[in-house]
Chain A
Amino acid sequence: MDQYKVIGKSPPRKDSKDKVKGKVKYVNDINTVGMLHTALKTSPHAHAKIISIDIAEAMEKPGVRKVITGEDIPYIVGLYLGDKYPLALGKVRHYGEAVAAVIADSEREALEALDAIKISYEELSPVRSIEEAMNEDAALVHEELDTYQHIDGIYPEGDSNVANRTKIRKGDIDLGFEESDFIIEDTFSYPQGDHVALETRAAIAEIKEDGQVIITSTSQAPFVVRSLMSSFFNIEPGKITVTAPPLGGGFGGKAGIQLEGLAYLLSKAVEGKPVKVVNTREQDMMASPGRIGFEGKVKLGCKKDGEIMAMKLHYMFDTGAYADYSVNISRAAAIACTGPYNVPHLTCDSLCVYTNHPFTNAYRGFGHLELAFAIERALDVMADKLGMDSAELRKKNAIKAGDTSPTNSVMDENTGDLSKCIDRVKELIQWEEGTYIPLGENKVRAKGMGCLWKAPAMPTNTDAGAILTFNEDGSINLNCSIVEIGQGTGTGLAQILAEKFKMDLEKIHIVTDINTRVAPHDWATAASRSLFMAGRAVMEAAEDALTQIKETAAAVLRCPSEDLDVAEERVFIKDEPHIGLDLKDVVLGYVYENGNAIRGQIIGRGRYIARRITGIDKETGEGKPALEWTLGAEAVEVELDLKDYSYKILKSACVMDVGKVIHPDLARGQVVGAMSMGLSLATDEAYVFNSRGQVLNNDLRSFKIMRYGEMPEYLVDFVETPQGDGPYGARGLGEQGIIGIPAAVINALSKAMGMQLKELPLTPENLWRARKEENTI
């Protein structure tokens, strides 16, 4: 049973002690003498022409060194689609957009100068919803969309508000509906919100005399920052160094490029002096990207016995004013559009739509969260129509090895066991006890389910690396480029290395500040691919180092290197284990008694690049874009008061097939944290707009996330169908726990209310409204 020494155990996180002592240094904790500080002036309008900006008075304020406006820095900084300037130029496209920046000796002085900047706007009528954006005579958020540069695989539609459209065509959709006995058609939606990482985004930039650009930033993707900085500002990549210290939460919001470009341009404006840009909470929610909004139209056809025959899907994502990551979120949602079910006949159009809302980027779940909300809600509606248990309907159609995905790629033997997950989650939530249980006259307990699947949405050449160096005591420095964003992957990677060396975890030291100058290349700490991909790189690096160690030892011990093994900080002859050397005497070169030394230090090198991934066809979506799929089932139990529509989430359960659990406590922590985000999103998190497109709840007092005491009982279990190519069989699990939860909550409340709810957030007020509207129809 206990086959492994470290894998599958839960040692303390490597960063534990510093984190409970306040010793971890985050970006905004860095202050140096001489560093300049900044403040941003933002737009009060959702859509307006900038007529003039008068900075003269602000320039005279104490401590002010420069005031910068969009005209001073007319660079395009869009992530995938070149639609954005670092500071608005010509026009503002959303409430809270950054328009001008003050650079001053202190943050206080910068803030105090903001009021002295006089901006004159001419208000334009804002595009306030997906529906308005898709109207034929809609105002255009970007008039020049067809001239924008963009990456391959993104298809903006000029003269419209569509930033990207991804198409999936599989089977014969007409035939599919002809063969269906039951068809339902409905629309499910939820508005934009925010990541609410407790740490707001920050970046520090400095330019050296030889043109070296030094960036320290709250980034999940320091290598992406380096690469994009190079292309946006025409700087040699080798002259850019990006450091990402541990982050105070990311959730996707710190992926891509954030404040780094602006910080660089501001530093450039003051002769390369170090400049720090830090978001206030309000700016983090408004001027930096938040969570995408969604509207999904689902037409679903089933046989009498529940077999799904056809799906016609129309997904529309509210990216807000700029596309950022969101053009890829809509694409990821198309690639996975059916949820974890086998669907023979299928069409999906997934659109990324511009509005004059705040812009959005990656958010935990990345498209899969949204599509799961639509599909899982539709399945419950269908189950009601069929008179079938909704869990049974899911199980009947659960995707398995040999089936084809929406992009027509065959699900391989690594496909997780969704049916097993459903069965186990039913046990955890006591599904068989009943999913609708009246409690007296005005109270009811109800249960709802939502299944999930997710594949990393990433470039086909996504890679990871690992470098191992050694210390005099034989301990190992593990240099990987996975940013610590709270998930603790560094500890998991150290476990993998310790397992390979059969060594105590204490003897593995991890690099925590990721510096692109010294760390191996790595795409990004995103898409739940870190443990898988960096884990593979660590395994290769370990093999590389072990081979070198054995070669040195073989020379000294005068034996073939293949006769040697390494464990417990020794290298020894397998069948004569008393003959061996301590690792500490080998890893920096072996020194003979007479002083002669051989071979020198061990440096382990490992790398991994995604295997056999392709893009997808523009017209049909055909291709193999997925590295691996994590599948799972989730369920919640709610108790609803039918008089005032207040409710409590009593239990929240998740069972995922993660291949292999490397660190049970950290795995559970990821799942529980993800579920809590999903619960909070479903019950309360949404931007509230007024008729002018201004956001009314851009702080944490009015934008409510879950607080202590509001959490349910969390129930978590794992299924372990090994991922053949994953490290020790593991696959990704960081984001997944959020995906099925919003659907599970709305399904439970729909059951409790005896009606089909269709929108988030599910505040008591909105439930009351839904009931009232139903009664008036």
Chain B
Amino acid sequence: MKTYKDYEAINLSINGETRKVIIKHSDTLLRVLREKLGLTGGKPGCENGDCGACTILLDGKPVKSCMMLAIEAIDKNITTIEGLSNTEIQKAFVEYGGFQCGYCTSGFLLNAYALLETHPDADDDTIKEWLQSNLCRCTGYEGISKAIKTAQKKKAGI
């Protein structure tokens, strides 16, 4: 088993690019993305796994990047909001008011994107189960809900 010392250079695969970065073994993935790589789309809303503002995708699955170490992401494909472009869910968030202040938005978008990729025909209960891991204080979730349902239909070609 490979061990990592105090500071070490590692390679991370982020949004399709390989990025070399010097980290401390105890650095969380969120902090490395934000502070070492300038990918500030994920937010430290609580750094306790409660709010979901730091959500990223790890091999396509939503993960709270404040709750894992950067070294755990080696050899995995990381997707941050900066790597998501012009998707149906992003367009729908704009059209239906899926955000106000924008602070929780990256996390919600990535979670919702992964949900629709994993369960294109997700019903209300499935959507709820997935999205309950993220908090939004501005929208009352109305715009987010409309946006997800619209993106779901668009993806299904309806």
Question: Chain A: residues with CB nearer than 8 A to chain B?
Answer: 12-13, 15-26, 28-29, 31, 108, 195-200, 246-251, 280-281, 484-488, 665-666, 668-669, 672-673, 675-677, 699-701, 705-711, 714
Q: How far is the CA of A526 from the CA of B132 in the complex (A)?
A: 30
Q: How far is the CA of A12 from the CA of B94 in the complex (A)?
A: 7
Do residues A22 and B45 form an inter-chain contact, with CB atoms below 8 A? no
Do residues B139 and A673 form an inter-chain contact, with CB atoms below 8 A? yes
Most chain B beta-carbon contacts within 10 A, residue among A29, A248, A699, A705: A248
Q: How far is the CA of A74 from the CA of B134 in the complex (A)?
A: 41
Most chain A beta-carbon contacts within 10 A, residue among B42, B47, B99: B99
Do residues B81 and A21 form an inter-chain contact, with CB atoms below 8 A? yes
* Chain B residue with Cβ nearest A13: B94
Choice from A17, A486, A701 contacting B138 with Cβ under 8 Å: A486
Known contacts: A281-B48, A708-B145. The answer to whether A19 contacts B131 by CB under 8 A is no
A673 partner residues in chain B, CB cutoff 8 A:
100, 137-140
* Chain B residue with Cβ nearest A22: B41
Do residues A26 and B103 form an inter-chain contact, with CB atoms below 8 A? yes
Q: How far is the CA of A157 from the CA of B92 in the complex (A)?
A: 55
Choice from B41, B42, B53 contacting A198 with Cβ under 8 Å: B53
Interface bracket on B: 35 or more
B104 partner residues in chain A, CB cutoff 8 A:
198, 248
- Indicate whether B46 reaches chain A with its CB closer than 8 angstroms: yes
Known contacts: A281-B46, A281-B48. The answer to whether A672 contacts B139 by CB under 8 A is yes
Known contacts: A198-B53, A248-B43, A672-B142. The answer to whether A708 contacts B102 by CB under 8 A is no
Do residues A251 and B137 form an inter-chain contact, with CB atoms below 8 A? yes
Question: Chain B: residues with CB nearer than 8 A to chain A?
Answer: 24, 34-35, 39-51, 53, 80-82, 84-85, 90, 93-95, 97-106, 109, 124, 127-128, 131-132, 134-145
Most chain A beta-carbon contacts within 10 A, residue among B44, B47, B102: B102
Known contacts: A20-B90, A28-B44, A700-B48. The answer to whether A676 contacts B103 by CB under 8 A is no
* Chain A residue with Cβ nearest B108: A708
Most chain B beta-carbon contacts within 10 A, residue among A29, A247, A699: A29
A699 partner residues in chain B, CB cutoff 8 A:
46, 48, 50
- Nearest CB of chain A from residue B106's CB, rounded to whole Å: 5
Known contacts: A22-B42, A198-B45. The answer to whether A31 contacts B105 by CB under 8 A is no
Do residues A709 and B128 form an inter-chain contact, with CB atoms below 8 A? yes
- Nearest CB of chain A from residue B44's CB, rounded to whole Å: 7
Do residues A17 and B94 form an inter-chain contact, with CB atoms below 8 A? yes
B48 partner residues in chain A, CB cutoff 8 A:
281, 699-701
Q: How far is the CA of A673 from the CA of B97 in the complex (A)?
A: 11
Choice from B40, B93, B137 contacting A677 with Cβ under 8 Å: B137
A676 partner residues in chain B, CB cutoff 8 A:
139-141
Do residues A669 and B102 form an inter-chain contact, with CB atoms below 8 A? no
Known contacts: A673-B140, A708-B145. The answer to whether A246 contacts B101 by CB under 8 A is yes
Most chain B beta-carbon contacts within 10 A, residue among A23, A31, A199, A200: A199
Known contacts: A699-B48, A711-B142. The answer to whether A24 contacts B132 by CB under 8 A is no
* Chain B residue with Cβ nearest A195: B137
Do residues A197 and B142 form an inter-chain contact, with CB atoms below 8 A? no
Choice from B99, B135, B140 contacting A675 with Cβ under 8 Å: B140
Known contacts: A22-B80, A198-B53, A248-B101. The answer to whether A708 contacts B45 by CB under 8 A is no
Known contacts: A199-B45, A677-B137. The answer to whether A21 contacts B103 by CB under 8 A is no
B39 partner residues in chain A, CB cutoff 8 A:
22
B49 partner residues in chain A, CB cutoff 8 A:
701
Q: How far is the CA of A487 from the CA of B53 in the complex (A)?
A: 19
- Nearest CB of chain B from residue A322's CB, rounded to whole Å: 24
Q: How far is the CA of A752 from the CA of B6 in the complex (A)?
A: 61
Most chain A beta-carbon contacts within 10 A, residue among B42, B93, B134, B137: B137
* Chain A residue with Cβ nearest B49: A701
- Total A-B residue contacts, Cβ distance less than 8 Å: 164
Do residues B131 and A700 form an inter-chain contact, with CB atoms below 8 A? no
- Nearest CB of chain A from residue B87's CB, rounded to whole Å: 9
Q: How far is the CA of A31 from the CA of B141 in the complex (A)?
A: 31
- Nearest CB of chain A from residue B27's CB, rounded to whole Å: 8
Q: How far is the CA of A708 from the CA of B43 in the complex (A)?
A: 19
* Chain A residue with Cβ nearest B140: A676
23 A–B pairs (Cβ distance < 8 Å), ordered by A: A20-B109, A22-B39, A22-B40, A22-B105, A28-B44, A108-B24, A196-B135, A198-B43, A198-B101, A198-B136, A246-B102, A247-B101, A281-B45, A486-B138, A672-B142, A672-B143, A673-B137, A676-B139, A700-B51, A705-B135, A707-B132, A707-B141, A709-B141
- Nearest CB of chain B from residue A364's CB, rounded to whole Å: 10
Do residues B140 and A15 form an inter-chain contact, with CB atoms below 8 A? no
- Nearest CB of chain A from residue B79's CB, rounded to whole Å: 12
| The 3 residue pairs across chains A and B that have the minimum distance between CB atoms | A22-B41, A676-B140, A248-B103
* Chain A residue with Cβ nearest B110: A22
Q: How far is the CA of A672 from the CA of B139 in the complex (A)?
A: 7
Q: How far is the CA of A486 from the CA of B136 in the complex (A)?
A: 12
B85 partner residues in chain A, CB cutoff 8 A:
21
Q: How far is the CA of A711 from the CA of B142 in the complex (A)?
A: 8
Do residues B34 and A19 form an inter-chain contact, with CB atoms below 8 A? no
A16 partner residues in chain B, CB cutoff 8 A:
94
* Chain B residue with Cβ nearest A198: B103
Q: How far is the CA of A766 from the CA of B99 in the complex (A)?
A: 33
* Chain B residue with Cβ nearest A199: B103
Q: How far is the CA of A377 from the CA of B16 in the complex (A)?
A: 57
- Nearest CB of chain A from residue B99's CB, rounded to whole Å: 5
Do residues A20 and B99 form an inter-chain contact, with CB atoms below 8 A? yes
Q: How far is the CA of A29 from the CA of B41 in the complex (A)?
A: 9
B124 partner residues in chain A, CB cutoff 8 A:
709
Q: How far is the CA of A705 from the CA of B45 in the complex (A)?
A: 14
B109 partner residues in chain A, CB cutoff 8 A:
20
Q: How far is the CA of A25 from the CA of B90 in the complex (A)?
A: 18
- Nearest CB of chain A from residue B113's CB, rounded to whole Å: 11
B82 partner residues in chain A, CB cutoff 8 A:
21-23
Do residues B43 and A714 form an inter-chain contact, with CB atoms below 8 A? no
Known contacts: A21-B82, A199-B103, A281-B46. The answer to whether A249 contacts B128 by CB under 8 A is no
Given contacts A20-B81, A31-B35, A675-B140, 19 further A-B contacts (CB under 8 A): A12-B95, A13-B94, A16-B94, A17-B94, A21-B41, A21-B81, A21-B85, A108-B24, A246-B101, A248-B43, A249-B103, A280-B47, A281-B46, A486-B99, A672-B143, A700-B48, A700-B51, A708-B144, A710-B141
Q: How far is the CA of A482 from the CA of B23 in the complex (A)?
A: 39
Do residues B131 and A672 form an inter-chain contact, with CB atoms below 8 A? no
Q: How far is the CA of A665 from the CA of B96 in the complex (A)?
A: 8
Do residues B105 and A19 form an inter-chain contact, with CB atoms below 8 A? yes
Do residues B137 and A196 form an inter-chain contact, with CB atoms below 8 A? yes
A488 partner residues in chain B, CB cutoff 8 A:
100
A199 partner residues in chain B, CB cutoff 8 A:
43, 45, 101, 103
Do residues A15 and B46 form an inter-chain contact, with CB atoms below 8 A? no
A31 partner residues in chain B, CB cutoff 8 A:
34-35
Do residues A669 and B143 form an inter-chain contact, with CB atoms below 8 A? yes
Do residues B100 and A487 form an inter-chain contact, with CB atoms below 8 A? yes
Q: How far is the CA of A485 from the CA of B100 in the complex (A)?
A: 8
Do residues B51 and A198 form an inter-chain contact, with CB atoms below 8 A? yes
Do residues B132 and A281 form an inter-chain contact, with CB atoms below 8 A? no
B46 partner residues in chain A, CB cutoff 8 A:
281, 699-700
A668 partner residues in chain B, CB cutoff 8 A:
97
Q: How far is the CA of A358 from the CA of B18 in the complex (A)?
A: 46
A714 partner residues in chain B, CB cutoff 8 A:
140, 142
Do residues B102 and A15 form an inter-chain contact, with CB atoms below 8 A? yes
Q: How far is the CA of A20 from the CA of B84 in the complex (A)?
A: 9
Known contacts: A26-B103, A29-B40, A676-B140. The answer to whether A281 contacts B47 by CB under 8 A is yes
Do residues B137 and A708 form an inter-chain contact, with CB atoms below 8 A? no
- Nearest CB of chain B from residue A648's CB, rounded to whole Å: 13
